[in-house]
Amino acid sequence: MTQRIYIIGAGAIAGHHAEAIARLSTTGEERPELSITDAHPAALAAFAERFPWVKTYPDTASMLNEPAQADDVVIVATPPVAHAELSCLAFRSGRHVLCEKPLAMNKAEADRMLGAAREAGKLLGCCSSRFAGLRTTAAVKTLLAEGKLGRPYRVNWIQRRQRARTGIEYQPSSRWFLQPAISGGGTLMDWGPYDIAGLTEALDPVRVDVLDAWMADPLTGHPLQAEVPSEVEQHVGATLRFHLTDGGAVPVHYERAACCHGGERSLTEIEGTAGAVGWDWLCWDGQGDIVRHDDTLGEPVTDVIRVTDDSPGLMDKPIVYFLDAVAGRTSPAIVGDRAAFNFGILCAIYDCIRTGEPQTVAREGAY
């Protein structure tokens, strides 16, 4: 039977999904049948002009009305405010759901989505898998598993950009990114899902404590920032403690900025008693470095290994990995408990900032 995929929301990311789905057929597979709907007729019409091979529907209910096939997939590609409601609707129609990041607006919504998935006996996946399954990250996991770094005692995950605000410098047409009632938050909701996915993939924690956290919205002279009062954080940081499967715990310094006045920086590094490793956790252009530091006869030694990444492109990963998971194949897809756990860590950072109190998120069940 032909694979069927349905997209709700015909905006910027839907175009990337459609291109990724079209590319599936270049690997010898039959191209899935793709349907799409959008709340705004103009957005739907523009999409139809760009992708004439895609079936369009005036609303979600009519699109999901046809009887479901066992492996049907719905991609929820709207702003976050609609993720929970539309995902639950899609589960009730008997379909698997791949939801855009961030998974939801808050923890209660994410729990509701997971509950609806379980009730329907379907998979809930999150598109925070865009940088999952990279060879660089796999190499780091192997170093940790083989004890090559000794006991890990410090992790730095620092990603700072000076002017890269979504809704201002990037995709200024989608101002909703700056409105928390629609986006759920700022750069922590926008980029945090990828950061947390990278950190949890590398370290595989069973529990995460948020010990301290802060956020800010730096002022700039950009005319768009003056025009619409900015309501979301563009710079966020947290002191986390990751509890590992071997019973150990490691402190994680986390920082993400889409806007800051200090310098730009990217540091993705684990330090252990026997060595340290830094790695390219994005591999934008299909290549990335693994930087190892250790000690040979009392001298610090640094080795840089460049690897070619053969995983699907970053916009292809979410659907490729999710279709693997739906078919029961092993895949780096971020689904079910894992998606809820990762999202729970983001929510705990916000809760720590809001309450001033430490928070704990435990991974439930096995994934």
Ligand X SMILES: NC(=O)c1ccc[n+]([C@@H]2O[C@H](COP(=O)([O-])OP(=O)(O)OC[C@H]3O[C@@H](n4cnc5c(N)ncnc54)[C@H](O)[C@@H]3O)[C@@H](O)[C@H]2O)c1
Q: Which residue has the tokens 């690897």?
A: 307
Distance of CA 72 to the CA centre of its chain: 22
Q: 89: part of which helix (H) or strand (E)?
A: helix 83-92
Minimum Å distance from CB 171 to ligand X?
Answer: 5
For ligand X, give the closer residue by CB, 18 or 361. Answer: 18
Q: What is the rounded CA–CA span in Å between residue 363 and residue 367?
A: 9
Hey, what amino acid is at 147?
G
For ligand X, give the closer residue by CB, 10 or 238. Answer: 10
Q: 152: part of which helix (H) or strand (E)?
A: strand 152-160
Minimum Å distance from CB 356 to ligand X?
Answer: 28
For ligand X, give the closer residue by CB, 79 or 313. Answer: 79
Minimum Å distance from CB 3 to ligand X?
Answer: 21
Hey, what amino acid is at 354?
R
Q: What is the rounded CA–CA span in Å between residue 39 and residue 35?
A: 14
Residue of this chain nearest to ligand X (CB atom): 11
Minimum Å distance from CB 187 to ligand X?
Answer: 11
Query: What does each C-alpha distance from 310 to 100, 140, 164, 314, 327 come to in angstroms?
Result: 23, 17, 28, 11, 21
For ligand X, give the closer residue by CB, 11 or 205. Answer: 11
Q: What is the rounded CA–CA span in Å between residue 42 and residue 208?
A: 44
Where on the chain is the footprint of ligand X (CB under 6 A)?
A: 8-14, 38-40, 43, 60, 77-80, 82, 100-101, 171, 174
Minimum Å distance from CB 167 to ligand X?
Answer: 9
For ligand X, give the closer residue by CB, 103 or 277. Answer: 103
For ligand X, give the closer residue by CB, 98 or 149. Answer: 98
Q: What is the rounded CA–CA span in Å between residue 326 and residue 176?
A: 32
| Residue-wise burial string across 234-259, b where 16 or more C-beta atoms lie within 10 A, e elsewhere | bbbbbbbbbbeeeeeebebebbbbbb
Hey, what amino acid is at 152?
P
For ligand X, give the closer residue by CB, 11 or 336. Answer: 11
Minimum Å distance from CB 271 to ligand X?
Answer: 31
Q: For residue 22, what are its two tokens? A: 């079209």
Q: What is the rounded CA–CA span in Å between residue 105 and residue 286?
A: 32
Minimum Å distance from CB 243 to ligand X?
Answer: 29
